[in-house]
Amino acid sequence: MTTTTQRPPERQSNELATHGLDLRYGDRSVIEGLDLVLPGGAVTAIVGPNACGKSTLLRGLNRLLSPAGGSVTLDGADIHGMPARSLALRMGLLPQQPVTPEAITVEALVRLGRYPHQRLLSPWSTADQAAVEAALERTGTAALRDQPVDRLSGGQRQRAWIALALAQDTELLLLDEPTTFLDLRHQLDVLDLVAELHSEAGRTVVMVLHDLGQAARYADHLVVLKDGRLAAAGPPAAVLDAGLVKSVFDVDCRVIPDPETGTPLVVPKSTAARHTAAASL
């Protein structure tokens, strides 16, 4: 917490944008000609059907994948022109299925988040330790610090990994399906934590989500992809309607206000209605 308040006052806007972005795996084109602006200071959710390129886009946004065409900019600067370490000081990433080194403890894992802040031979500093403590506190993993990560429950493990991303101390966080493999309670835990990071620490969050209702509830900005192209983008309430769900997910539904939050809630039509719809294709 201390580290976030120590930030210089002239905040960068942390606006990520893609310009005619093409992303490929070998010969297979995944994202084509994507023009997108991900507003700084907001929580953006990227949604879309399986294999629409959500995770690929996230990897492209963090230089893990080099564009086959176009570019990605952060506050107007091409991220491929930046040293890897400088980018890592501004943007953290939680991959979809991170590799947990065998028997590593929570604290040892979180300490690795300080990597971009350290020089080759620099010793572990008090600032490093403070950032680690803050990350452990914020994610509620301080009590687990000496536990091996591979023995934690799915929810605890996910929070440990988020703590690593927090220890990296970046204003921008990319999260790839942070709720996968978690039960509902732990899904909500993680999303509440994300909301808190945004509301209390002012972090910009870009996350890939599977659940449209959760995306609508937790995101300020929604990006809907289909087949590697942009289907829609904007505030959930403005973007999410039955027509979009039908055209992107091929599901007939009603979109009603969430009785709890008033955000859009996708309610698929009854089985019979959907089956006739599918048969008509």
Partner 1 sequence: MTGTVKATKTAPTAPVRRAGASRARQRRRSALFGGGAVVLLLALATVSLTVGELPMTPYVALRALVGAGDEGDVFVVQEFLAPRLTAAVVAGAGLGVAGSLLQRLFRNPLASPDVMGITGGASFGAVSMLAVGASQALIPLGALGGGLLAALLLGVFAWRSGLDVTRMVLVGLAVQAGLAAAVNFMVVRFPAELAGSALQWTTGSLYGRTWTEVWAVAGAVVLALAVAFTLHRRLAVLDLGDDSAGGLGLNTSAARLQLLVTAIVLASLAAAISGPVGFVALAVPHVVRFLAGPPTPGTLALCGLAGAVLLLASDLIVQHVLPVEGLPVGVVTATLGAPWLLVLMIRQSKAVNRSSL
101 binds partner 1 (CB under 8 A): yes
Residue 125 in contact with partner 1, rule: CB under 8 A: no
- Count other C-beta atoms under 10 Å from residue 2's C-beta: 10
Of 11, 35, 81, 103, the one binding partner 1 (CB under 8 A) is 103
Edge-to-edge strand order for the sheet containing 91-94?
91-94, 172-176, 204-208, 43-47, 221-226, 229-234
Residues 265/237, Cβ–Cβ less than 8 Å: no
Question: Which region among 67-75, 89-97, 236-244, 263-271 touches partner 1 (by CB under 8 A)?
Answer: 89-97
Ramachandran angles phi, psi of 116, nearest 5°: -65, -15
Interstrand relation of 28-38 and 16-25 (parallel, antiparallel or unpaired): antiparallel
Among the listed residues 40, 113, 228, 264, the single contact to partner 1 using CB under 8 A: 113
Binding test (CB under 8 A) with partner 1, winner from 20, 78, 115, 257: 115
Contact call for residues 198 and 43 (beta carbons, < 8 A): yes
- State the DSSP H helix or E strand holding residue 193, giving kind and residue range, or none if neither: helix 184-201
Tell me the closest approach of the beta carbon of residue 265 to partner 1, in angstroms. Answer: 21
93 - beta bridge partners? 174
**According to the binding rule CB under 8 A, does residue 70 interact with partner 1?**
no
Confirm or reject binding of residue 51 to partner 1 (CB under 8 A).
no
Q: Which is nearer to partner 1, 10 or 185 (CB)?
A: 185
Q: If binding is defined by CB under 8 A, does position 86 make contact with partner 1? A: yes
For position 112 contacting partner 1 by CB under 8 A, the verdict is: yes
Interface of this chain with partner 1, residues 213 to 272, rule: CB under 8 A: none
Q: How far apart are alpha carbons 278 and 34 in whole angstroms?
A: 29
Whose tokens are 């904007």? That residue is 234
By C-alpha distance, which of 248, 276, 252, 254 is closest to 267?
254
220 in helix, strand or coil?
Answer: coil
- Binding to partner 1 by residue 116, rule CB under 8 A? yes
Site for partner 1 in 166-205 (CB under 8 A): 168, 174, 188-189, 192-193, 196
CA distance 52 to 256: 25
Six token digits for residue 120: 């080759």
As measured in angstroms, the least distance from the Cβ of 140 to partner 1 is 4
**Interface size with partner 1, residues (CB under 8 A):** 55
Using CB under 8 A, pick the residue from 7, 80, 151, 229 that binds partner 1: 151
Reported as type and span, the H/E element at residue 92 is: strand 91-94
C-alpha separations of 96 from 12, 28, 181 in Å: 27, 21, 10
Stretch that binds partner 1, among 33-41, 117-125, 241-249, 263-271 (CB under 8 A): 117-125
Comparing CB distances to partner 1, the nearer of 74 and 248 is: 74
Task: Pick from 128, 133, 171, 177 the residue near partner 1 by CB under 8 A.
Answer: 133
Residues that bind partner 1 (CB under 8 A): 59, 62-64, 83-89, 91-95, 98-99, 101-105, 107-109, 112-113, 115-116, 118, 120-121, 129, 133, 137-140, 142-143, 145-146, 148, 151, 159, 164-165, 168, 174, 188-189, 192-193, 196
